[in-house]
Amino acid sequence: MRPLAELMATHARAGRIDWIGVRAARRAAMVPLRLAQVTQAGLAGDHARAGKRAVTLIQGEHLPVIADLCDGAATPEALRRNLVVSGINLAALKGRAVRLGMSVIEITGPCAPCSRMEETLGVGGYFAVRHHGGWCARVVDGGEVKLGDAVEPEGDVLRPGTPE
């Protein structure tokens, strides 16, 4: 039997960036991009600021689940996350350094839905996104990200404080 720490450091394959978006202000429309520069304050052109919520990500595989749980269209623009990632379990990367293209982030915790989900997705939108709303991250090293870039753990060592 393999130790849990070893299992937690193993992923079937790298994920990929399927969508990139920024918004200039809090309630501004999302602007889809083909590439973006990741800085300490998040994606260039986004209203985020440095810290544990500088970049937001959502699991691409969750979009159809959210759509099935409400009456709205669960598009990346509607859900207002910076990156849509598929092919790797973002929840399994919590507390880990993750390479996105030329940048490195650390997944810091879940990105809870806001009341805007009711406006955007209709009645039940808030609960449709709950536990499927994505993840927040802080920037470790900035750099360019573009559509199709790989998303993978940076090294195979668990960060301090990660359960074994």
pLDDT tens over the chain, length 164 residues: 877 776 666 666 789 999 999 999 988 999 999 999 999 999 999 998 899 999 999 999 999 999 999 887 899 999 999 999 999 999 999 999 999 999 999 999 999 888 788 888 988 899 999 989 899 999 999 999 999 999 999 874 444 444 43
The pLDDT value recorded for residue 157 is 41
The pLDDT value recorded for residue 119 is 87
Could you give the number of structural domains in the chain?
A: 1
Tell me if 163 is assigned to some domain: no
Closest CA to 114 of 92, 141, 84, 136: 136
Phi first, then psi: what are they for 19, rounded to 5°? -155, 140
Q: Which residues pair with 151 in a beta bridge?
A: 15, 100
The pLDDT value recorded for residue 159 is 43
The pLDDT value recorded for residue 162 is 43
Tell me if 63 is assigned to some domain: yes
Which 8-state DSSP code applies to residue 61? G
The pLDDT value recorded for residue 163 is 40
Tell me if 160 is assigned to some domain: no
Tell me if 164 is assigned to some domain: no
Distance of CA 9 to the CA centre of its chain: 19
Tell me if 2 is assigned to some domain: no
The pLDDT value recorded for residue 11 is 67
Q: Which residues have a Cβ under 8 Å from the Cβ of 63 and sit 6 or more positions away?
A: 74, 75, 76, 79, 84
Tell me if 148 is assigned to some domain: yes
Tell me if 1 is assigned to some domain: no
Range of the domain at 148: 11-153
The pLDDT value recorded for residue 58 is 97
CATH of the domain at 120: 2.40.33.20
The pLDDT value recorded for residue 113 is 87
Tell me if 34 is assigned to some domain: yes
